[in-house]
Structure 1
Amino acid sequence: MERVEVAAAPNGVANSRQRWKYLDKMLTRSGPFSDPDTNFGDPVIQILESRKILVIGAGGLGCEILKNLALSGFKDIHVIDMDTIDVSNLNRQFLFRQADVGRPKAEVAAEFVENRVKGVKITPYCGKIQDKDDDYYRQFHIVVCGLDSIEARRWINATLVGLVDDNADSLKPLIDGGTEGFKGQAKVILPTLTSCIECQLDMHAPRPAVPLCTLATIPRQPQHCIEWAHIMAWEEERKDDILDTDDPEHITWLYQKALKRAQEFNISGVTYSMTQGVVKNIIPAIASTNAIVAASCCNEAFKIVTSTNPFLGDGNNYMMYTGDDSVYTYTWEHLKLDDCPVCGNLAKELEVGRDATLEELVAGFADRPDSQLKKPSIRSEAKSLYIQFPPGLEEATRPNLSKKLSELVEDGEEIAVTDPAFQIAFKYKIKFTS
């Protein structure tokens, strides 16, 4: 292998890179898998340091990702997280200390990494990803997600797909990491070119439902009380409000309702943290899994920027990891779907019974693995069939719920389904079955 020498830097600049001497072994010389057109040495180092990276989430995965990116040579990093630090975070979110409890995660994480890795600039934003417009996301070269919410993943995925136009710089690679106990995954998404989050939605199956009779009459577990508050109490008392699982006021309301119900049935164990976990379907995290998956995500970001090795999006785009029975990893290609509602060009075919009602169709969207929509509104090519918000339109279109679908749409007709949680319309082509 030919070694590319780096010219001597004046006035101690070389000493400033002493911390990166092992990293420079990859950046200053080519390798058997590197892009032959890459200018190794100072040019690629300058590219690495100038790239602007966005990290979404500063929790278990996010802390690891921020630390890894800073130690990998990235200098301009931004981070978004809307949560504040809780005592329960301290066992695995290692950038936080007892004195930080109550402070915004993004702010504390940025301060900690900046203090430990000199020369790195981390810009925090304490809020929701939906607070930012398209121009905000256009400034970044790569987006790395360390989220525990499928809804947030779907939102940022749709946003990045929507940014793509004829300009090559409009394509922002999305690196997504996720963990569930001892299992995890990392994937690279090139919007409009490779399989996106929505293409892979059926891999995130909805959680098993608890019978409503159990929730309504004889709850046996603290989780049953929380689900009651989530599904029944909210619908009864605040049905005009869209439940935002990232809003502390909404979670607090559910927690207080669940706690009161638990006390009525002498059930202990309802906490704010549990309420948040049940409502958002959060699975307890393990620090070692977070470290492994975050390392994979940051490795992909480094390879994309430096071209030192092929990255996951070049062929195989999905890495799975499991550590519950030894250590096992596997990479494979998740294919892009032509009928994906976000990045595809075709409407997805939807088979329904000719005698099925519109109400049955609306209820079914919450359980379908390929949609998982909680508050769907439906419009045909000719008219609005059912609109959930605002309340005035819901009342006007409510009579359609009891009608048969065959009375409202034609066989082969396209319908558009929207949900308050997403910016896109999901397109389906109705196919009636006997």
Structure 2
Amino acid sequence: MADPSAHVSRWRDLDKLLLRPGNLVGPNFEPGPELRDDLRAYVRVLVVGAGGLGCELLKDLALSGFRNLEVIDMDTIEVSNLNRQFLFRLQDVGKPKAEVAATCVMERVSGVNIVPHFCRIEDKDLEFYSDFNIIALGLDSIEARSYINAVACSFLEYDSEDNPCEETIKPMVDGGTEGFKGHARVILPGVTPCFECTIWLFPPQVKFPLCTLAETPRTPAHCIEYAHLIKWNEAHVGKSFDADDPEHMQWVYSEAVKRAELFGITGVTYSLTQGVVKNIIPAIASTNAIISAACALEALKIATGCSKTLSNYLTYNGLEGLHTKVTEFVKDKDCLVCGPGILIELDASISLQKFIELIGEHPRLLLSKPSITHHGKNLYMQAPPVLEEMTRSNLQLPLFELMGKLPKDIIHATGMTCVNGKKMSCLRKLRVMFKGIVDGVADMDTAGGA
């Protein structure tokens, strides 16, 4: 028979936050045991990334009373991960990170259910992300953060006065670490600045002069960048390098080793190759633990209202002594991602094909090969081929009819754009308004065009 005191002891610290009132609680906070039960029964959290920070997040959330967790990660476990990604063991090398991390936490924390997803974040549709109450990010790339940020902001709706509708806000908690430095931030789309509002916080990537790479390499990083930027294009004409493809990364590593041997340079490793190509600074386990704890606490605040949330960006620096600081950044009212959406006025006769061409030329969008969705329905998908074939017939139909003959509504476009000279996937929200509508019926005599 189970010892009832064990259950009390397990949630003792959590109960101190949830069972009694306080001066810093949220406006809707009502202390009581029901709050703890609701947290475990109804709150669903998605952890994006199962690396050093993601492993800590899964463990901390499970131990903080969250029962319904899911984790998504496209990587498999490597030997170099084992020094800081503590859920993994040597026998796990080669296995999907998400699956191993989920199994490990469920074995150690009774009652928690974690569903793993071994795939790219772009492989999931909007409906998948809409099912979660909170999204926690443990990512190591700007591109991935930007994509998830756009997905969360796509659910946001505004009223007639351009105020965000509270029930459509999808909270995010974002953590990041670089060596002894880290950050934790709370993103409430439409309320606090989103990731794109503060994209300027990220320093520009270090770039080496091509003449140094080609003629006088002096460091392992020079050899790696030579293989990445010069040798790849020479050997793979017309083929783009994919930093997330293990075969591509292995090729760059092999070429970098040859380059280093030619110039008598030591220190080229596979993990360093990944770090240089992806601009990743090696992680430190203690920093991951500190930042994860901050993120898990913010997720608990959001879910229960037991305290006011972080406002809104915490930085940590343990390089020399210890320094932490909270900065309140301001939302960009003209943000393309978390704002009300770009307004596009169209004639009711315009076809979906013409609409796709227009947004590709729009100066604030410049989306190439966009896929179009409307309230979760695929109007046209560029990929995979089976979906492209299924939705191809919609291209010649009027967009007005495909949208249910609504005079105005929200459409989402997913495509490729160029940021700082680098192509990346992005999602944009568009407010489409049709001209020539009389009593909900299109005047089809109106000429097409924007």
TM-score tier by shorter-chain length is 0.7 to 0.9
Matched, 1:198 2:193: no
User: Structure 1's 87 and 75: CA in aligned 2 closer, same or farther, altered over 3 A?
Assistant: same
Q: What residue identity is the alignment partner of 2:48? A: I
Distance in structure 1 (CA, Å) of the matches to 2:368 and 2:298: 43
Q: Does the 8 A contact of 2:316 with 2:325 survive in 1? A: yes
Q: What residue identity is the alignment partner of 2:320? A: D
For normalisation by structure 1, the TM-score amounts to 0.76
Q: Does the 8 A contact of 1:418 with 1:425 survive in 2? A: no
**Cα distance, 1:294 vs structure 2:** 0.6
Distance in structure 2 (CA, Å) of the matches to 1:381 and 1:106: 39
Distance in structure 1 (CA, Å) of the matches to 2:341 and 2:110: 49
Find the partner of 1:268 among 247, 262, 266. 266
Find the partner of 1:320 among 315, 318, 339. 315
Of residues 33-42 and 171-180 in structure 1, the stretch that sits farther from structure 2 once superposed is 33-42
**Cα distance, 1:210 vs structure 2:** 0.6
Find the partner of 1:46 among 37, 47, 63. 37
Q: Does the 8 A contact of 2:25 with 2:308 survive in 1? A: yes
Name the SS for the 2:426 alignment partner. Answer: coil
Q: What residue identity is the alignment partner of 1:421? A: M
Matched, 1:88 2:80: yes
**Cα distance, 1:157 vs structure 2:** 0.7
- 1:361-386: CA deviations, max 9, x gaps? xxxxxxxxxxxxxxxx9846699999
Q: What residue identity is the alignment partner of 2:328? A: E
Find the partner of 1:25 among 13, 16, 25. 16
**Cα distance, 1:264 vs structure 2:** 2.8
Name the SS for the 2:276 alignment partner. Answer: helix
Aligned to 2:424: 421
**Cα distance, 1:125 vs structure 2:** 1.1
Q: Does the 8 A contact of 1:338 with 1:346 survive in 2? A: no
Q: Does the 8 A contact of 2:48 with 2:139 survive in 1? A: yes
User: Structure 1's 286 and 188: CA in aligned 2 closer, same or farther, altered over 3 A?
Assistant: same
- 1:287-318: CA deviations, max 9, x gaps? 11111111000000001111110001xxx211
Q: Does the 8 A contact of 1:339 with 1:346 survive in 2? A: no
The aligned runs of 1:16-415 (5 Å cut-off) are: 16-35=7-26, 37-49=28-40, 50-165=42-157, 168-312=166-310, 316-344=311-339, 379=361
Distance in structure 2 (CA, Å) of the matches to 1:47 and 1:57: 26
User: Structure 1's 115 and 417: CA in aligned 2 closer, same or farther, altered over 3 A?
Assistant: closer
Aligned to 1:397: none
Q: What residue identity is the alignment partner of 1:123? A: V
User: Structure 1's 192 and 111: CA in aligned 2 closer, same or farther, altered over 3 A?
Assistant: same
Q: Does the 8 A contact of 1:38 with 1:44 survive in 2? A: no
Aligned to 1:394: none
Distance in structure 2 (CA, Å) of the matches to 1:192 and 1:246: 31
Name the SS for the 2:315 alignment partner. Answer: strand
Distance in structure 2 (CA, Å) of the matches to 1:219 and 1:135: 48
Q: What residue identity is the alignment partner of 2:329? A: H
Name the SS for the 1:423 alignment partner. Answer: strand
**Cα distance, 1:81 vs structure 2:** 1.4
**Cα distance, 1:254 vs structure 2:** 1.7
User: Structure 1's 98 and 44: CA in aligned 2 closer, same or farther, altered over 3 A?
Assistant: same
Q: Does the 8 A contact of 1:321 with 1:329 survive in 2? A: yes
**Cα distance, 1:261 vs structure 2:** 2.4
User: Structure 1's 385 and 196: CA in aligned 2 closer, same or farther, altered over 3 A?
Assistant: closer
- 1:313-352: CA deviations, max 9, x gaps? xxx21111111222121112111113333224699xxxxx
**Cα distance, 1:47 vs structure 2:** 2.1
Q: Does the 8 A contact of 1:47 with 1:305 survive in 2? A: no
Aligned to 1:8: none
- Work out the number of aligned pairs and report it: 358
Unaligned runs of 5+ residues in structure 2 are 159-164, 343-358, 370-381, 383-414, 431-450
Unaligned runs of 5+ residues in structure 1 are 1-10, 348-376, 391-415, 428-434
Q: Does the 8 A contact of 2:154 with 2:428 survive in 1? A: no
User: Structure 1's 297 and 239: CA in aligned 2 closer, same or farther, altered over 3 A?
Assistant: farther
Name the SS for the 1:55 alignment partner. Answer: strand
- 1:67-97: CA deviations, max 9, x gaps? 1101100000111112222222222211112
Name the SS for the 1:123 alignment partner. Answer: strand
User: Structure 1's 152 and 18: CA in aligned 2 closer, same or farther, altered over 3 A?
Assistant: same
Q: Percent of aligned pairs with the same residue?
A: 50
Q: What residue identity is the alignment partner of 1:310? A: K
User: Structure 1's 36 and 270: CA in aligned 2 closer, same or farther, altered over 3 A?
Assistant: closer
For normalisation by structure 2, the TM-score amounts to 0.73
Distance in structure 1 (CA, Å) of the matches to 2:21 and 2:212: 63
Distance in structure 1 (CA, Å) of the matches to 2:143 and 2:365: 28
Distance in structure 2 (CA, Å) of the matches to 1:281 and 1:382: 27
- 1:156-198: CA deviations, max 9, x gaps? 1111111223674432111100111111110001113221111
Q: Does the 8 A contact of 2:341 with 2:429 survive in 1? A: no
Q: Does the 8 A contact of 1:79 with 1:122 survive in 2? A: yes
Q: Does the 8 A contact of 2:368 with 2:416 survive in 1? A: no
Distance in structure 2 (CA, Å) of the matches to 1:117 and 1:268: 44
Name the SS for the 1:422 alignment partner. Answer: strand
Distance in structure 1 (CA, Å) of the matches to 2:282 and 2:126: 33
Q: Does the 8 A contact of 2:54 with 2:138 survive in 1? A: yes
Name the SS for the 1:54 alignment partner. Answer: strand
Q: Does the 8 A contact of 2:139 with 2:175 survive in 1? A: yes
